Amino acid sequence: MTRRTEAVPLVGGWRDWRTFRDWRSWPQRFARTWRGSLRFRTLAITLGLTAFAILGAFVTMALAIQNDLFESRVDQVQAAVARATASTQTTLNSAQPGGDSAALQTLMDAAVSSMKRQAGTNMIAGFRVSNDPSSIAPQDFNSGGLETSMISDGLRIAVQGDDEQRWWQSIGLRTESSSDVPGVVVGQQLKFPEVGAYEFYFAFDLASEAQTLQFVQVTLWLVGAGLVLLIGVISWFVLRTVTVPIRQAAETSAILAAGDLAVRLPVRGDDEFATLGRSFNAMADSIEAQIKELAELSLVQQRFVSDVSHELRTPLTTIRLASDMLNDQRENFDQTTARAAELLHAQVQRFEVLLVDLLEISRYDAGSVQLEIEPTSLAHLAEDVIASMQQLAEQHGTDVRLVAPGGYSPVEMDPRRVRRIVRNLLGNAIEHGEGRPIVVTVDSNQSAVALGVRDFGLGMTAADSERVFDRFWRADPSRKRTIGGTGLGLSIALGDARLHGGSLAVWSALGRGTNFVLTLPRRGQPVGSDSPIAVEPGEGELLDDLGRTQPIAVQDVRGGMRVDETGART
């Protein structure tokens, strides 16, 4: 029975077989592993330096052994040639051929046989040094496979020029299998009676020395590879004992940073890592205690704000009823009392708004805020808010204009909270717009809808823009609020935007005004940095650019109305 198995991809870029076959990604993966793994980097450096050192040592050893083998063999063959030629020269000196060519040839054959036996080689060649013709001189010869072409002209010239010195040279010898083996040839002169000197050459193969050298080199390479592998295994185990505690510390730190305050490092022994573990655990205990203390203080603060806000609602209701009565009857009072009743009524109203905002902030801090989602058109919502604040805008001499190229289709949102955001942004623009036109822009794309509120007032610095969403923060504390804000509106607006998974961004510059952009997702997913409306206006925008701020009516999709080029509804 054949069992079919499925390949399971292993963890890691180098372990995935399909990825491993993609050789083009090897450099990137190697660089990523090099940067991200201390163990891999240290192991690679250790193995590289070890391999380089072993390579240098073994190459030096191989060259030294090779030179020693070669020099020893050369000394050996020279000694053998010296013995053979000395003995043969003695025999030649005592011979008396009497001018007989046959006797001279017999003497030559006997001398060659004696030198082969004493020198230990059959590869011998002999050549008469003198070029004068002779009828009795033995002919030149070569035997044992030593050919004339193997002997270089330089060696022959050296041998011919010195009748006392032996000369040698490295050559390549052809074997019976037609392969070349290293060899050495030694040349020396011998003097024959009645016919003059002959140059003799003795060739010796170094096959046995080459085999010995090859065996030594293979042994060295095997030992070197084994040493590199052994050092690699030892280094891996040593590095593992060092990097595993480091990795545990990094993972524990990440878990602690993610919010799990109960995680701790295991402590074993009394070495440096144990000391590090104890110090880390002590730090984690201290952080956990401080965070718990701060959380308890924050909880007490939130509960205090919530309780105080709730407790103040009953007396505030009574005070408001009394202030309403006094305010309604202020015409019957004298001027001073009437003014006091009017101020009391205004401040009680502001106090009530402040309590509502404090209750909302306490809900955000406690994490108990929930959305009431329903499909809503952001463009129509903006139109309704602008209409409701038209009277306030007229009191400040401000012209609010709506530009809505998109944002008509309904989007899932909490209309009450989004309306509160728009009212807050538009109220701030009216208050700080210095009576100049205010542009409310609504647009959309495939993933989000956005609303921008742009005023051309005094503006803020970059430092002020970073703190504009802080609670109770004001850019100019000496500036009086004209519409009764509490200092919590933008903080609540930012919380409402984030509760929808959206964002609320601000741009401002001194002398150019301020631009707030609210971005809401279409499908409930958090929006990224791509908003249908740019937060920072274009460089070419002018303060008096009324061409862009002409009144534009919003298309009423439900009623089938549209906007023509003149801005009239049809």
Q: What is the pLDDT of residue 306?
A: 67
Question: Cβ distance 146 to 123 under 8 Å?
Answer: yes
* pTM reported for the whole predicted model: 0.46
Q: For strand 400-403 and strand 438-444, is the pairing parallel, antiparallel, or unpaired?
A: parallel
d(CA 68, CA 151): 24
Q: Is 547 exposed, middle or buried (0-12, 13-18, 19+ CB in 10 A)?
A: exposed
For the chain, list the domains and their CATH numbers.
9-258 (3.30.450.20), 272-364 (1.10.287.130), 370-521 (3.30.565.10)
Residues facing 186 on adjacent strands? 168, 202
Alpha-helix runs per DSSP H in 367-472: 378-388, 390-395, 415-432, 462-466
Report the distance separating Cα 380 and Cα 409, nearest Å. 10
The pLDDT of residue 361: 67
Please, which residues have CB within 8 angstroms of residue 89's CB and are 6 or more apart in sequence? 190, 191
CA triple 231-235-238, angle to 5 deg: 140
If you search the block for the tokens 């009743």, which residue do you land on? 341
Spatial distance between the Cα atoms of 402 and 378, rounded to a whole number of angstroms: 12
Distance CA 270, CA 11 (A): 34
pLDDT averages per 10-residue partition of the chain, 570 residues = 34 47 71 76 83 86 86 88 90 84 88 89 89 85 85 89 87 73 89 89 86 86 87 84 82 85 84 84 88 79 69 76 81 84 79 70 67 88 91 89 89 88 89 88 90 89 82 60 62 83 88 89 70 76 44 39 35
- Which residues on neighbouring strands pair with residue 448, listed in sequence order? 521
Percent helix, strand, coil in the chain, to 5, is 55, 15, 35
Structure tokens at 131: 């070029």
Which residue bears the tokens 């193995």?
47
169 backbone dihedrals φ, ψ, rounded to 5°: -155, 145
Quickly list DSSP for 194-245. Answer: TTEEEEEEEEEE-HHHHHHHHHHHHHHHHHHHHHHHHHHHHHHHHHHHHHHH
Task: Give me the residues paired with residue 428 across strands.
Answer: none
pLDDT at 27: 77
Give the Cα separation of 174 and 126 in Å (integer): 19
Strands 438-444 and 448-455: antiparallel
Nearest to 411 by CA among 435, 445, 440, 383: 445
Structure tokens belonging to residue 137: 């001189």
Edge-first strand order for the sheet with 167-174 is: 141-143, 124-128, 196-205, 180-192, 167-174
H/E run at residue 21: helix 17-21
Six-digit token string for 1: 């029975």
- Total residue length of the chain: 570
Taking the CA atoms of 33, 34, 36 and 37 in sequence, report the sign of the dihedral they define. Answer: positive
Given this model, what pLDDT does residue 357 score?
Answer: 67
Q: Which amino acid is at 288?
A: E
What residues does 199 pair with on adjacent strands? 127, 189
Phi and psi for 518 in degrees, rounded to 5?
Answer: -100, 125
pLDDT of the residue at 563: 37
The amino acid sitting at 525 is Q
- Residue 380 has a pLDDT of 92
Q: Which of 124, 100, 101, 98 is nearest to 111 (CA)?
A: 124
Find the helix or strand (DSSP H, E) in which 148 lies. Answer: none
Which segments of 258-401 does DSSP mark as H helices, in order? 272-328, 335-366, 378-388, 390-395
111 is written with which tokens? 């001398």
Structural tokens at position 456 = 């051309």
What sign does the CA torsion over 15, 18, 23, 25 have? negative
Rounded to 5°, the CA angle 13-18-24 comes to: 75
Pairing mode of beta strands 196-205, 124-128: antiparallel
In angstroms, the CA 390 to CA 551 distance is 13
Euclidean distance between CA atoms 261 and 265, whole angstroms:
12
CA dist., res. 265 & res. 276, Å (int)? 9
Cα–Cα distance between 147 and 158 in angstroms, integer? Answer: 18
427-452 in b/e form (b: 16+ CB < 10 A) is bbbbbbbeebbbbbbbbbeeebbbbb
- Cα torsion 221, 223, 228, 229 to 10°: value is 110
